[in-house]
C-alpha cells in the first residue's frame, strides 16, 4: 500500500512538471497538440488515481487553458485557420485550401471542451462559411469584418469601433414582421441568426449571464435595424428567459434548431430532427350528403377574427411610427396631417380601437345569425410590452362584450397574440410559474364556457382547445393552432404534438365520424404558411385528409387577409377534400379594411353554402366625422363572386380552375384579400402576384425557399469574425458596429421577411451564434426555416391517422338548399395602445402606439379606425366590426385566433390576459350565437411560445392561457371544452347533429414544420367539410390535393383575413354559408370597409362596410367544396383577371 502511494505521488509530481505551460512551450514542436494529448491523459489519470483526482483535474484544466490561450493569441483569422487545420503528417495548410479542421476534430475527440466551445466551434462555423459561401457576392472583407466585429463584441463586451458601420450596411428592418421573407436575402438572415445563436449558446455554456445576453441581444437588434430600441429591449426582455431555459435544459440545443424553425419562412436549415406523428384511426370518414340546392335550409355563422383590440389606439396619432404597431399614444405626434392615424383605425400598422370593435359588433348584429366563430387574436400588436394583466383585461373586455352583444353561442379560439409574452405557449411540464399560461387557459375556460353556453373547461385548461356540439349532428372544434406557430419558442424545447392536441383532434374527429357528425374546425393559424412548423402542418393535413368527409368547415384567422386554402387528396391530387376559410380581421393591420364574414351553413349537411364578407372603407370612414359610423357594405359573397354553387371543397376547387383561366377572378381575390383596403390594393397584382396567390391557395405545406446569392464575402466575414470575438471576450470589436451596419436585418423576424434577406447569410449567422453558445447548429434551421437554413437532422415526425377514407358526403342540392351562416372573424389583434393620429411610420413592428412619438408629417399620421401601416385594431374598430357583423344573420362565429396586438416586444401575461378577456367578453356580450375561438400565435406570452407539458419550469407555463381559454371559450362555445383546451388550446364541439367543429392550436407549429395535411390516404377529406384559418391577415384560401392523385382536390381551407389592417389590408370579416344537411361550405361573403376612406371621415362616423365579394360570385363556382375551389385555380390560370381579383381580395 505504501509503495503504491509513493508511486502515485511520484507520478503526480512528474505530471505537474509535464503540464507546465512554459515546459510545453519550450520543448514541444506542436504545443497545442501536446496540450490536447496531455489533457486527455490527465483526464484518464483523474479517473484512476482517486487520491489525487482533484490535482489531476486541475492540471487538466491548466492544459486546456494553455491551449485556449494560444488560440486566443492568434493575430488574424488566417493564423487561426492554420492552427485549426494543421496536420503534422500532411502538407502545410495554405490560405484558400479546403478546411479539414484536423485540430478541431482532435479537440472534439479528446474532449477539449473549452477549446471546442470557446474557439473551436466558432472557427468551425467560420471555416464552413469561408469554404462554402465564398461563391456568393459578399466580399471576403465584408463578411470577415461583420463576423469578427460581432464575435469580438460578444467575447469582450466592448464593441469594435467599426461594428456599428458594418451593421448599418447589413440592416434588416422589420425582418421578423409578417411577409418580410421576400424582402431580404435568406442566406443573410439565416447566417446572422446562426452566428448570433451559436455565440449565445456557446457563451451560456461558459456562464453567460442574463444581463450580458440582454445587452448583447439588444445591441444586435437595434444596430441591425430590426426594430427600434424600445421594441428590441421589450421583446428581448420578454423572451430571453425562455431562450435561456431551453439552452440550459435542452442538452443538444443548436442554432439550426432555433433559426430553422423560428425563421422557417426564410428557409434556414433546421439541422436536427423535428419529426413525429400522431396515431390516426384507419379508414375514411363516410361520404356526407351534399347540400340539396332545391330544398336547402341553412343557419348562419358570423366569423370574427383578429380584432387585435388596441386600448392604446390614439386617433390622430402617429401612423408612421416605425414600430410594429403605430397610432399609439406614446409614439409622438404625426409629422404631417397625412401621417395622422384615422379615428376608426388606420391601414398603417394599426389595430382596432374599442370603438371599432363596438362598431363592428353593432354592424354585425344588424343581421341575424346563429353562431359566432371568433378565430383568435384579441391582443394588439404592441408586442413589446404585453403583460398578463393587460392581456387579461383586453381578453376579458372583448369576451364580455361578446357575451353582452351576442344572443347565441360564441365559439372563440386563441390567437397567437393572447399569451404573454406573445406567441409563447409553455407546456404543463414547465413548472416555473413565471412562464405559465395557466392564467390564459383559466380565463378562456371560464369565458369561453360562458360564450359557448357549454362547459369547455377540461380541454381548454389542457391546451386551449375544445369540442362542442351546438346542435345534433354538428360539432365545432376549436383548436389552438398557435401551439405550432414557429414563433412559439417552446417548440425549440419540445415540439412533439404540444399538449397532445393533434392526437386529441384525430381522436375527436373519429368520435364525430362514429356519431355521424359534421365538424367545423376553428384554427387560428392556417396550415401551409411559413409560420407553422412543417411537421405540425403535415400531421394536421393528415387529419384533414383522413376526416375529409366529417370536416365540413375550417375557419382560420391570423393572416388578417380574406383568403382560403384548398386541401387535396394526397393519393389523388385532383380531388379537393377540404377548404379552410380565413375570417380576415377586424383590425386593418395592415393595409386592409376591417371586416367580418357571415357563413351560410346547410342545416342538414352542415356544409358551407356560401359566405359574405362585410367591410367598410377605412379611408372614407376616417374622412367622416368620428360621430358617424362607417358605411359597412357587403364586399362580396363567395358563391356570386366566384360562380360557385357552394363552399364545399369540390366547388372551391372549381374556383381555382376558373381563376387559372380567368385572371379577373384573381384580381377580385386580391381585392377581397385586403377587403378593398386602399393601401393593400394600391400596388395592384401583376401576373407574378397572381401566380403567387393561386399557389398560396393550394399550398398547405410550407416549402423551402432559398436564395443562392450573397453580398460581399469579405464584409460578411468581418461580421462573422466580430461576432465570434464579441462572444469570446464579452466586448464587441471596434469594427463590429460598422460591419453590422452592412448586414442590417431590420424586421427580419417579422412575417413576410424571408425573401427580404439572403438566406445563406442568415443561416450562416444563425448557425455561428448558436454554435458559439451551444456548439451545434440545429436551431437556425428551425428558427430561420423561411430562409432555408439547413436543419441537419430533419424536424420530422408523424402522427397516427386511422387508415381508410372518410365516407363521401352528399353534395349540396342546388334546388332546395337550407343553410346557416357562420361569421368568420380572425386576427383582430386588439391594440389597447392604438393612438389615432399617432405615428404610423414608427420603425417598430407595430405603429400607432401611444409611446412612439408624434408623426413627422400628416402623411405618417395614424387613422382613427386603424392604419394600413403596421397598425392593429383599436377597440373602437372591434366594436364597429362586431356592430357591423351583428347587422347580419349568423348562426355561429368562428374566431380563428390572434387577439393580442403586434406590440411583440412587451407582451405580458397580464396584458395578454386583459386583452384576451376583454375581447372574449365582448364576444360573449355581442353575440347571441356560439362563438368558436382558437388561439392565434400572438396570444401566448411571449409571442409564439407554446411550451409543452414536459417543460416543468412554471415561468414558461402556458397554463394561464389555456385556463383563460378553457373558461372563456367554454362560455363562448356554450359547451365545456376545458379538457382539451387545457391540454393544448384545442377542442371539438358539435353545435348541431351531424356537424362538428374542431378548433386546433396550429400555433404550436408556428415557424416550424406545418406539414400535415397532405400525407398518406384520403383519410378524413370527406368528413372535414370546412377549414378556417387566420394568421396571414390575408383573404386567401388553400386547396389540398390527394397525394396519390394530385389532380384530385380533397380539401380547401379559407382564411378569414383579419380585422386588423396589419399590414396594408382593410379590416374584414367573412360570412360563410353552410349547407344545413351536409355542412359543406356553399359560399362566403367577405365584408370590409375602405380604411383610407373611413379614416378620412369624422371619427364619429362609422366606416362604410360593404360586401367585398362572395366567393361563388367572384370566381363563378357552385360552392366552396374542394372540387369547386380547384376549378377556381384553373380559371385563374386561364383568366388572370381572377388573380387580379384574388389579389384585390387578398389584403
DSSP for 869-907 reads: EEE-B-HHHHHHHHHHHTTSEESEEEE-S--B-S-TBS-
| Cβ–Cβ under 8 Å, residues 474 and 992 | yes
Rounded to an integer, the average pLDDT of 563-584 is: 90
pLDDT of residue 126: 34
Residue with cell 464584409: 715
% of the chain with per-residue pLDDT over 90? 35
| Cβ–Cβ under 8 Å, residues 578 and 554 | yes
410, 545, 439: which is closest to 885 by C-alpha?
410
Summary mean pLDDT of the chain: 82
Task: Tell me how far apart the alpha carbons of residues 112 and 119 are, in angstroms, rounded to a whole number.
Answer: 11
pLDDT of residue 1014: 29
Task: Tell me how far apart the alpha carbons of residues 47 and 600 are, in angstroms, rounded to a whole number.
Answer: 75
Residue 358 has pLDDT above 80, yes or no: yes
Position with higher pLDDT, 12 vs 244:
244
Burial code of 102-117, b = ≥16 C-beta within 10 A, e = fewer? bbbebbbebebbbbbb
Residue 792 has pLDDT above 70, yes or no: no
Q: Is 455 helix (H, G, I), strand (E, B) or coil?
A: coil
Position with higher pLDDT, 1043 vs 661:
661
pLDDT of residue 984: 84
- Helix/strand/coil (H/E/C) assignment for every residue in 514-575: HCCCEEEEEECCCCCCCCECHHHHHHHHHHHHHEEECEEEEEEEEEEEEEEEEEECECCCCC
Task: Tell me how far apart the alpha carbons of residues 360 and 171 are, in angstroms, rounded to a whole number.
Answer: 39
pLDDT digits (tens, 9 = 90+) for 884-909: 888 899 889 898 888 888 888 898 88
pLDDT of residue 619: 94
According to DSSP, the residues that pair with 101 across neighbouring strands are none
pLDDT of residue 455: 94
What is the grid cell recorded at 751?
Answer: 412575417
List the alpha helices (DSSP H) in 683-790. 687-698, 713-729, 736-740, 759-774, 780-783
Q: How confident is the model at residue 160 (pLDDT cuts 50, 70, 90)?
A: confident
Residue 221 has pLDDT above 70, yes or no: yes
pLDDT digits (tens, 9 = 90+) for 84-105: 666 666 666 665 554 445 555 5
DSSP 249: H
% of the chain with per-residue pLDDT over 70? 80
On the 0-12 / 13-18 / 19+ scale of CB atoms within 10 A, 1100 is: middle
pLDDT of residue 121: 33
Phi, psi of 1131 (to 5 degrees): -65, -45
Checking phi first, is residue 252 left (phi over 0); if not, alpha (psi -120 to 50) or beta? alpha
What H or E segment, with its residue span, contains residue 671? helix 665-672
Cα-trace Rg, the chain: 28
pLDDT digits (tens, 9 = 90+) for 680-696: 998 899 988 888 888 88
Helix axes 355-364, 909-926, angle to 10 degrees: 30
Rounded to an integer, the average pLDDT of 549-554 is: 96
Residue with cell 479517473: 47
pLDDT of residue 458: 96
pLDDT digits (tens, 9 = 90+) for 628-643: 999 999 999 999 999 9
Task: Tell me how far apart the alpha carbons of residues 600 and 1075 are, in angstroms, rounded to a whole number.
Answer: 7
How crowded is residue 89: how many other Cβ atoms within 10 Å of its Cβ? 5
Task: Tell me how far apart the alpha carbons of residues 1055 and 1042 are, in angstroms, rounded to a whole number.
Answer: 21
Residue with cell 404585453: 386
pLDDT of residue 616: 95
Farthest-apart Cα atoms in the chain, separation: 105
| Cβ–Cβ under 8 Å, residues 766 and 245 | no
pLDDT digits (tens, 9 = 90+) for 281-308: 998 877 866 666 667 899 999 999 999 9
Sequence-distant (6+) residues with CB within 8 A of 50 are none
pLDDT of residue 106: 52
How far, in Å, are 268, 636, 726 from residue 193 at the CA level?
9, 43, 15
pLDDT of residue 588: 92
Residue 266 has pLDDT above 70, yes or no: yes
Indicate whether this model's pTM tops 0.85: no
| Cβ–Cβ under 8 Å, residues 953 and 431 | yes
Sequence-distant (6+) residues with CB within 8 A of 339 are 318, 319, 320, 839, 840, 841, 855, 856, 857, 858, 859, 860, 861, 862
Residue 716 has pLDDT above 90, yes or no: no
Domain 299-313+351-698 belongs in CATH node 3.50.50.60: no
According to DSSP, the residues that pair with 753 across neighbouring strands are none
pLDDT of residue 307: 94
Parallel, antiparallel, or unpaired for β 864-871 and 633-637?
unpaired
Cis omega (within 30 of 0) on the bond before 421?
yes
Among 458-472, 777-791, 1050-1064, name the most confident range: 458-472
pLDDT digits (tens, 9 = 90+) for 376-412: 999 999 999 999 999 999 999 999 999 999 999 999 9
Q: What is the CA 503 to chain-centroid distance, rounded?
A: 21
Q: What is the CA 232 to chain-centroid distance, rounded?
A: 18
Task: Tell me how far apart the alpha carbons of residues 62 and 114 are, in angstroms, rounded to a whole number.
Answer: 11
| Cβ–Cβ under 8 Å, residues 1020 and 517 | no
Q: Is 354 helix (H, G, I), strand (E, B) or coil?
A: coil
Sequence-distant (6+) residues with CB within 8 A of 295 are 813, 815, 816, 817, 818
DSSP 778: S
pLDDT digits (tens, 9 = 90+) for 497-512: 999 999 999 999 999 9
How crowded is residue 485: how many other Cβ atoms within 10 Å of its Cβ? 47
What is the grid cell recorded at 588?
Answer: 386593418
Among 187-196, 419-428, 737-746, 1125-1134, name the most confident range: 419-428
pLDDT of residue 1015: 29
Amino acid at each position: 500500500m505504501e509503495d503504491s502511494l509513493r508511486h502515485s505521488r511520484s507520478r503526480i509530481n512528474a505530471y505537474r512538471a509535464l503540464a507546465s505551460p512554459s515546459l510545453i512551450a519550450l520543448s514541444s514542436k506542436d504545443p497545442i497538440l501536446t496540450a490536447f494529448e496531455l489533457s486527455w491523459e490527465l483526464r484518464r489519470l483523474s479517473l484512476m488515481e482517486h487520491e489525487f483526482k482533484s490535482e489531476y483535474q486541475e492540471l487538466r484544466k491548466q492544459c486546456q487553458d494553455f491551449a485556449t490561450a494560444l488560440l486566443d493569441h492568434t493575430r488574424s483569422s488566417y493564423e487561426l485557420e492554420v492552427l485549426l487545420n494543421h496536420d503534422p503528417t500532411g502538407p502545410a495548410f495554405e490560405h484558400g485550401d479546403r478546411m479539414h479542421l484536423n485540430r478541431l476534430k482532435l479537440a472534439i475527440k479528446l474532449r477539449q471542451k473549452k477549446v471546442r466551445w470557446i474557439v473551436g466551434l466558432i472557427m468551425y462555423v467560420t471555416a464552413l462559411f469561408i469554404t462554402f459561401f465564398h461563391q456568393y457576392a459578399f466580399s471576403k472583407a465584408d463578411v470577415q469584418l461583420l463576423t469578427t466585429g460581432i464575435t469580438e463584441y460578444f467575447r469582450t463586451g466592448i464593441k469594435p469601433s467599426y461594428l456599428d458601420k458594418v451593421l448599418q450596411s447589413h440592416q434588416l428592418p422589420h425582418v421578423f414582421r409578417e411577409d418580410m421573407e421576400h424582402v431580404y436575402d435568406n442566406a443573410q438572415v439565416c447566417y446572422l441568426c446562426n452566428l448570433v445563436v451559436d455565440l449565445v449558446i456557446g457563451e451560456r455554456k461558459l456562464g453567460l449571464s442574463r444581463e450580458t445576453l440582454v445587452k448583447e441581444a439588444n445591441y444586435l437588434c437595434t444596430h441591425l435595424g430590426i426594430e427600434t430600441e424600445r421594441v428590441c429591449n421589450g421583446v428581448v426582455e420578454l423572451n430571453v428567459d425562455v431562450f435561456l431555459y431551453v439552452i440550459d435544459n435542452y442538452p443538444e440545443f443548436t442554432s439550426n434548431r432555433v433559426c430553422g424553425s423560428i425563421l422557417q419562412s426564410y428557409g434556414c436549415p433546421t439541422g436536427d430532427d423535428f419529426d413525429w406523428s400522431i396515431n390516426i384511426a384507419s379508414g375514411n370518414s363516410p361520404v356526407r350528403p351534399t347540400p340539396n340546392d332545391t330544398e336547402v335550409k341553412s343557419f348562419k355563422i358570423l366569423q370574427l377574427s383578429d380584432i387585435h383590440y388596441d386600448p392604446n389606439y390614439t386617433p390622430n396619432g402617429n401612423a408612421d411610427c416605425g414600430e410594429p404597431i403605430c397610432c399609439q399614444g406614446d409614439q409622438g405626434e404625426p409629422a404631417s396631417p397625412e401621417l395622422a392615424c384615422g379615428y376608426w383605425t388606420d391601414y398603417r400598422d394599426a389595430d382596432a380601437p374599442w370603438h371599432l370593435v363596438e362598431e363592428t359588433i353593432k354592424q354585425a348584429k344588424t343581421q341575424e345569425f346563429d353562431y359566432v366563430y371568433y378565430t383568435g387574436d384579441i391582443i394588439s400588436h404592441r408586442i413589446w410590452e404585453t403583460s398578463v394583466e393587460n392581456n387579461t383585461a383586453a381578453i376579458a373586455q372583448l369576451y364580455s362584450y361578446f357575451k353582452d352583444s351576442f344572443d347565441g353561442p360564441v365559439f372563440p379560439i386563441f390567437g397567437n397574440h393572447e399569451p404573454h409574452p406573445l406567441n409563447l405557449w409553455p407546456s404543463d411540464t414547465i413548472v416555473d410559474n413565471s412562464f405559465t399560461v395557466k392564467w390564459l387557459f383559466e380565463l378562456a375556460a371560464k369565458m369561453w364556457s360562458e360564450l359557448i353556453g357549454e362547459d369547455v373547461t377540461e380541454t381548454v385548461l389542457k391546451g386551449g382547445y375544445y369540442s362542442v356540439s351546438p346542435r345534433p349532428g354538428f360539432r365545432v372544434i376549436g383548436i389552438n393552432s398557435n401551439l405550432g406557430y414557429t414563433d412559439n419558442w417552446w417548440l425549440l424545447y419540445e415540439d412533439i404534438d404540444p399538449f397532445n392536441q393533434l392526437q386529441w383532434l384525430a381522436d375527436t374527429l373519429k368520435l364525430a365520424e362514429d356519431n355521424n357528425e359534421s365538424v367545423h374546425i376553428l384554427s387560428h393559424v392556417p396550415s401551409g404558411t411559413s409560420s407553422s412548423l412543417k411537421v405540425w402542418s403535415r400531421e394536421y393535413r393528415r387529419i384533414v385528409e383522413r376526416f375529409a368527409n366529417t370536416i365540413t368547415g375550417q375557419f382560420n384567422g391570423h393572416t388578417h387577409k380574406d383568403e382560403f386554402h384548398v386541401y387535396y387528396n394526397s393519393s389523388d391530387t385532383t380531388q379537393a377534400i377540404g377548404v379552410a376559410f380565413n375570417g380576415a380581421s377586424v383590425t386593418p393591420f395592415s393595409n386592409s379594411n376591417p371586416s367580418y364574414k357571415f357563413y351560410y351553413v346547410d342545416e342538414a349537411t352542415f356544409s358551407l353554402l356560401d359566405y359574405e364578407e362585410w367591410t367598410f372603407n377605412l379611408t372614407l370612414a376616417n374622412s367622416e366625422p368620428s360621430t358617424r359610423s362607417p358605411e359597412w357594405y357587403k364586399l362580396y359573397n363567395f358563391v356570386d363572386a366566384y360562380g360557385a354553387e357552394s363552399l364545399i371543397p369540390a366547388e372551391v376547387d372549381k374556383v381555382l380552375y376558373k381563376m387559372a383561366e380567368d385572371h379577373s377572378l384573381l384580381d377580385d381575390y386580391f381585392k377581397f384579400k385586403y377587403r378593398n383596403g386602399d393601401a393593400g390594393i394600391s400596388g395592384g397584382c401583376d401576373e407574378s402576384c397572381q401566380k403567387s396567390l393561386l399557389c398560396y391557395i393550394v399550398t398547405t405545406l410550407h416549402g423551402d425557399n432559398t436564395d443562392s446569392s450573397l453580398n460581399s464575402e469579405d464584409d460578411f466575414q468581418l461580421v462573422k469574425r466580430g461576432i465570434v470575438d464579441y462572444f469570446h471576450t464579452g466586448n464587441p470589436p471596434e469594427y463590429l458596429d460598422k460591419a453590422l451596419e452592412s448586414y442590417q436585418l431590420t424586421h427580419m423576424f417579422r412575417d413576410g421577411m424571408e425573401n427580404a434577406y439572403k438566406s445563406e447569410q442568415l443561416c450562416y449567422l444563425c448557425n455561428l451564434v448558436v454554435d458559439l453558445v451551444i456548439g451545434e447548429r440545429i436551431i437556425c434551421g428551425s428558427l430561420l426555416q423561411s430562409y432555408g437554413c439547413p436543419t441537419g437532422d430533419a424536424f420530422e415526425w408523424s402522427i397516427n391517422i386511422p387508415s381508410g377514407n372518410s365516407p363521401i358526403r352528399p353534395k349540396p342540392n342546388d334546388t332546395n338548399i337550407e343553410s346557416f351562416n357562420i361569421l368568420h372573424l380572425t386576427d383582430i389583434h386588439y391594440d389597447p395602445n392604438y393612438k389615432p393620429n399617432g405615428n404610423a411610420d414608427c420603425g417598430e413592428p407595430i405603429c400607432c402606439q401611444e409611446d412612439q412619438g408624434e408623426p413627422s408629417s400628416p402623411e405618417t399620421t395614424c387613422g382613427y379606425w386603424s392604419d394600413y401601416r403596421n397598425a392593429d385594431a383599436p377597440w373602437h374598430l372591434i366594436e364597429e366590426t362586431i356592430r357591423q357583423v351583428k347587422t347580419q344573420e349568423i348562426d355561429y362565429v368562428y374566431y380563428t385566433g390572434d387577439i393580442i396586438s403586434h406590440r411583440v416586444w412587451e407582451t405580458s401575461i397580464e396584458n395578454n390576459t386583459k386583452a384576451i378577456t376583454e375581447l372574449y367578453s365582448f364576444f360573449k356580450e355581442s353575440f347571441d350565437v356560439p362563438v368558436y375561438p382558437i388561439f392565434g400565435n400572438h396570444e401566448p406570452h411571449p409571442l409564439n411560445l407554446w411550451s409543452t407539458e414536459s417543460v416543468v419550469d412554471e415561468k414558461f407555463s402556458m397554463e394561464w392561457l389555456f385556463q383563460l381559454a378553457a373558461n372563456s371559450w367554454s362560455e363562448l362555445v356554450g359547451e365545456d371544452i376545458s379538457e382539451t383546451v387545457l391540454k393544448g388550446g384545442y377542442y371539438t364541439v358539435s353545435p348541431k347533429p351531424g356537424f362538428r367543429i374542431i378548433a386546433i392550436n396550429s400555433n404550436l407549429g408556428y415557424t416550424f414544420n406545418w406539414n400535415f395535411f397532405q400525407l398518406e390516404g384520403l383519410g378524413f377529406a370527406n368528413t372535414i367539410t370546412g377549414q378556417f384559418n387566420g394568421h396571414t391577415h390575408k383573404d386567401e384560401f388553400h386547396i389540398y390535393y390527394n397525394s396519390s392523385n394530385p389532380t384530385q382536390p380533397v380539401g380547401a381551407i379559407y382564411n378569414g383575413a383579419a380585422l386588423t389592417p396589419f399590414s396594408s389590408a382593410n379590416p374584414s370579416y367573412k360570412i360563410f354559408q353552410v349547407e344545413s344537411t351536409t355542412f359543406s361550405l356553399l359560399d362566403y361573403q367577405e365584408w370590409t370597409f375602405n380604411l383610407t376612406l373611413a379614416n378620412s371621415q369624422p371619427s364619429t362616423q362609422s366606416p362604410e362596410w360593404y360586401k367585398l365579394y362572395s366567393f361563388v360570385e367572384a370566381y363563378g363556382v357552385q360552392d366552396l367544396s374542394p372540387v369547386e375551389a380547384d376549378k377556381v385555380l384553373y380559371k385563374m390560370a386561364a383568366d388572370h383577371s381572377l388573380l387580379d381579383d384574388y389579389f384585390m381580395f387578398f389584403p
